Structure 1
């Protein structure tokens, strides 16, 4: 089991490199983004005006008995509150909209990037981690815009505006109001540090859950075959318990911090009331000023309480961004620098002094030299791990060779535009993967240029049409995830149709008949003969009976070519091939 146990490390308050990369995705919407900044400034200015108008209403109109003036100020205050509500709505909606369109763009770019990655990258990267990057981490970025940077800037501007107004009205009462501010700052800092660790634990727990569920739901048949349900349930319960513990820790910190902040705010208001009431009694302070200061304090303490939470939202967004950009900066993809495009190829293949290793110099293939002419059929045989599948992966450029060269029609395959090269190669694998969709989609893979008539013709060619037409809906039958509603043989037949419908000039069959029964194999063998006619064919097979008619059989052992020739010539040599043939005969007799 591969779990994503990366730690979310806290860094600077604002990682300028990450934010500058993030800003690149804002560029297409910079007009709306600048308008969002304007709305943020407007809210920071509008928020403190309400207490100011109430102070004026009390001191200048209520105290003077000016009822018409009071009505005017009330109408003005109502208009101000309506305006503030409209601006608040626009700010909330726009920040959410910008966040969603940006994460949409990032998610599309990330998925497009993953489509170009080498298979080696997927060999070494847990799927659960990639799912977390594409879903959870990207979703976090939306909060950077709705509750992160813009909200923090707005809160800070609001604090500055409120302080300026308070000092302008009465600097002494302002200093009294701020007596409890150090306590709030200290408690906020402690809360920020604690909740940051708790959030990190939550995100790691989510990653672990994603990885565990993805692996174990995919491999549920193995779990059930070996009676591991209870053991795997216990492991899931442990991971889920850790997830719950991390969440409860964050809930605990919130439960402690906000009541403490309320108490500190209440103490501050109490000091203001005590000091202000004394001033009112001594005729040194107006009642309206005292009431407005109580309102200012409530407005002042609220952003401070929220800044700690929003800081962590921003920081987690920055960390998620750095993870995503690290993946986007990963250049472990097949370089598509070739410029050669052609509608037709002959199908001559040449491997010259090819060396290949998946990891460093742990050579899987050593100095391989193979020539395949147009229309020829060659077979690769050998024990498991001999390097047969590696050769066909290299021809299609799923992996890159370390040394030597591979040519098609005399051209190095790196000179071909990647789509052009793969378009002319039809591959049928032993492990057939089908998407949760219709048979038609699984054959065409959404290619609009392939018609239903072409699909039915190819299905008829390989003998799959009969079983397809018997299914409910025929080509429109949904095979469900990984083709769960079809038999192994039916899935294999669909993979043959998928290869043939593109009319490739090179056919590669990797153990294509090993998963079917004898009757289906006979059917497929007839189809294979039709498929290979006029095409270059490479067959990997454990059943030597399926390759007797091959023009050339190549015997691989530990990454090296040991023998090469026809079925009869290799048997007469009494070497590796003859031994393999003899062992298969014995297994069939027994």
Structure 2
């Protein structure tokens, strides 16, 4: 595979007990319902046990009638009474099982809703670096597939295991009461059942983890391909994409296949062992009935109990596969929830009124600490100044703006905002004073008015309209059928790239920031629209400290200072005239470009 390496790795679960314990802790909010489920499960278990045991008194009644111990009339009366009681018990069992099942659905859905809420809240506060390092498809897989499996595990597997454990314990107790000797024979076979179940469950656990991991990679690639479909078609990359997808699909198929095989194997294997056990009990039980006084009724009840005893073991073994899948998925979810959040402390300083004095002093930073992107960068921006960054791709321009917004923390040096070390500032409060307009536009589902108000949720309609006028977006909005109430969906697919960028600028304007960051804000629009934006931008930038990154150097001519970056270092600084006189890197870029106005 040319672009990514795909391996069926040994994805062993890290800590099953810890994951299960953490998952169970979410059930604490449903203690009352869980207790009622346990009580209902006990009632259902007792009903099932009585149904299996009832064959003994029924046979004894028939036996007493056939031997003349009681009259035929009395026998029929006793049989009728026992059958009525059995019907009542069965009815109670059905009601109890229905109730426990229904309540487990409620508990599982409540639990999954709580986890989903925590995940979304966590995602909103996660460090930007985690979003950069993980495919969105894999993150979505944790929200969808993994949560679904956790819900299924709690809903079906957990409820089934609870009932079947009670059934197994109760069955063993009744079996000892009926015949201790036969019970000893049965218990000799149980370790074999347990050993086989344990071996298969361990394998199932490994494959379940692999299955979910490979599904996340597959979903990530599908999402990436959907987003980049036009690029794929443009460069005739379809064949390579099919090959890459085929390899990912095969990995998922193999992992899913192995997980399903272990799930399929466990039931027939246990069933065959139970059949052997059933035959052995029949032989020993027949011997005891003939030579040691075991009644036919008790033998019949015991044999029936043997079948009952095998059923919960089979069910537990079968549901354990589902439960293991749920635990493997929960492990991925908790891994997500354990990703570090952006740190916010009560001791952080909150700047009430930011004037926009920004200083970098000997700043060193790298997304990977061993590979610095910025090297000993020092510059300053006085309040209200417009500072432009130019340089080759990868020089560190966008990195600087990310550091000002404190999306990342520096490795060494200092960044000062109004004389205050940025490391001591509350990053959430700091961002209230900063607005960014990026090259990649992003709009949200809702009306145009709501998208503009996204920059300041307390802004009035009049303030949003004023911001749109400032950004020169008002004209095109008014000619839309529903104006500011026009619904946007699919990230504004019905709008042109320029129109979307105008809305982004209006959104930044309504935020009324002290610091404005424009990162290639006009790179994706035509020259005519660019002139419209620049007119509005001049008004927006007035009185604000503004940092501009632009690939068209004509847009930065009027900057108070132009900083030229190369390989993470500042190589030149000055206004346009000064830099042109120096005849250095900036002059070379400016005179050599083709997009001059």
How many residue pairs are counted as aligned between the two chains? 586
Structure 1: 5+ residue runs without aligned partners? none
Contact preservation (8 Å) 2:267, 2:317: no
Q: CA deviation at 1:484?
A: 2.8
Aligned to 2:380: 371
Query: Is contact 2:437–2:505 with CA below 8 Å preserved after alignment?
Result: yes
Name the SS for the 1:489 alignment partner: helix
Which deviates the most, 86-95 or 34-43? 34-43
Alignment check: 8 A CA contact 2:344 2:426 kept: no
Native 8 Å contact 1:377 1:552 kept in 2: yes
Q: CA deviation at 1:170?
A: 2.4
1:129 paired with 2:138, answer yes
Deviations 1:476-526 (A, max 9, x none): 434433333322211211110111111112111111111111111111110
How far, CA to CA, are the matches of 2:253 and 2:553 in structure 1?
Answer: 56
Distance 1:63 1:244 in 2: 62
Cα shift readout 1:210-235 (whole Å, capped 9, x = no counterpart): 12212211211211111222332343
2:570 to 558, 561, 575: 561
Decide whether the 8 Å contact of 2:384 with 2:545 is kept in 1: yes
Alignment map for 1:190-205 (pairs within 5 Å) = 191-193=200-202, 195-205=204-214
* Change beyond 3 A, Cα 1:220–1:336: farther
Describe the shift of the 1:434–1:584 C-alpha distance in structure 2 as closer, same or farther (beyond 3 A): same
SS of 1:431 mapped into structure 2: coil
Aligned-partner Cα distance in 1 for 2:466–2:13: 59
CA contact (8 A) 1:178 1:268 kept: no
Moved more, 483-492 or 272-281: 272-281
In 2, are the aligned partners of 1:469 and 1:475 still within 8 Å (CA)?
yes
Pairwise mapping of residues 188-587 of structure 1 onto structure 2 (< 5 A)? Answer: 188-189=197-198, 191-193=200-202, 195-253=204-262, 257-273=266-282, 284-331=293-340, 333-337=342-346, 339-341=348-350, 344-445=353-454, 448-584=457-593
In the alignment, structure 1 residue 82 sits paired with structure 2 residue 91: yes
Deviations along 1:339-367, one digit per CA (max 9) or x if unpaired, are 44455322222222222221114222222
Does the residue aligned with 2:26 lie in a helix, a strand or coil?
A: helix
* Greater Cα shift, 492-501 or 153-162: 153-162
Q: 1:130 Cα deviation (Å)?
A: 1.9
Q: Could you say if the C-alpha distance between residues 478 and 4 of structure 1 is closer, same or farther in structure 2, counting changes exceeding 3 Å?
A: farther
Q: 1:197 to 1:391 in 2, by over 3 A?
A: closer
In the other structure, the counterpart of 2:129 is 120
Q: Select between 316-325 and 240-249 the one with higher mean Cα deviation.
A: 240-249
Deviation larger for 285-294 or 354-363: 285-294
Distance in 2 of aligned mates of 1:164 and 1:215? 58
Distance in structure 1 (CA, Å) of the matches to 2:350 and 2:207: 54
CA distance in 1: counterparts of 2:179 and 2:520, whole angstroms = 86
Q: SS of the counterpart of 2:558?
A: coil
1:175 Cα deviation from its structure 2 partner: 5.1
Distance 1:362 1:264, change over 3 A: closer
Question: Contact 1:5–1:204 at 8 Å: present in 2 too?
Answer: no
Query: Structure 1 CA distance, aligned partners of 2:255 and 2:370?
Result: 43
Deviates more, 1:431-440 or 1:556-565: 431-440
**SS in structure 1 opposite 2:79?**
helix
TM-score, with structure 1 as normaliser: 0.89
Correspondence for 1:28:
29
Residue in 1 that maps onto 2:46: 45
Deviation at 1:241, TM superposition (A): 4.2
Residues 168, 395 of structure 1: alpha-carbon distance in 2 compared, 3 angstrom cutoff: same
Unaligned runs of 5+ in 2: 66-71
**1:470, CA displacement in angstroms?**
2.7
Match of 1:9 among 5, 8, 12: 12
**Alignment of 1:57 onto 2:58:** yes
Residue 107 in structure 1 maps to residue 116 in structure 2: yes
Shift of the 213–328 alpha-carbon distance from structure 1 to 2, 3 Å rule, reads: same
- Maintained 8 Å contact 1:436/1:478: yes
C-alpha distance in 1 between matches for 2:522 and 2:126 = 29
Q: Deviations over 1:39-74 (max 9, x none)?
A: 344434332111223322331367434333322222
Once residues 293 and 527 of structure 2 are traced to their aligned partners in structure 1, the CA distance between those partners, rounded to angstroms, is 104
Residues 556/279 of structure 1: CA separation in 2 closer, same or farther (3 Å cut): closer
Provide the C-alpha distance between the structure 2 equivalents of 1:531 and 1:10, rounded to a whole number of angstroms: 54
Aligned to 2:69: none
Pairwise CA RMSD: 3.0
- The secondary structure found in structure 2 opposite 1:351 is strand
1:19 corresponds in structure 2 to: 20
Q: Distance in 1 between matches of 2:453 and 2:10?
A: 42
Equivalent position SS for 1:481: coil
Range with bigger deviation, 336-345 or 502-511:
336-345
Per the alignment, in what secondary structure is the counterpart of residue 376 of structure 2? strand
Distance 1:570 1:127, change over 3 A: same
Superposition TM-score, scaled by structure 2 size: 0.88
Higher mean C-alpha displacement, 179-188 vs 549-558? 179-188
Decide which moves more: 185-194 or 540-549: 185-194
- Deviations 1:148-197, CA, capped at 9 Å, x for gaps: 45543442332221122112112344456667656655654554355445
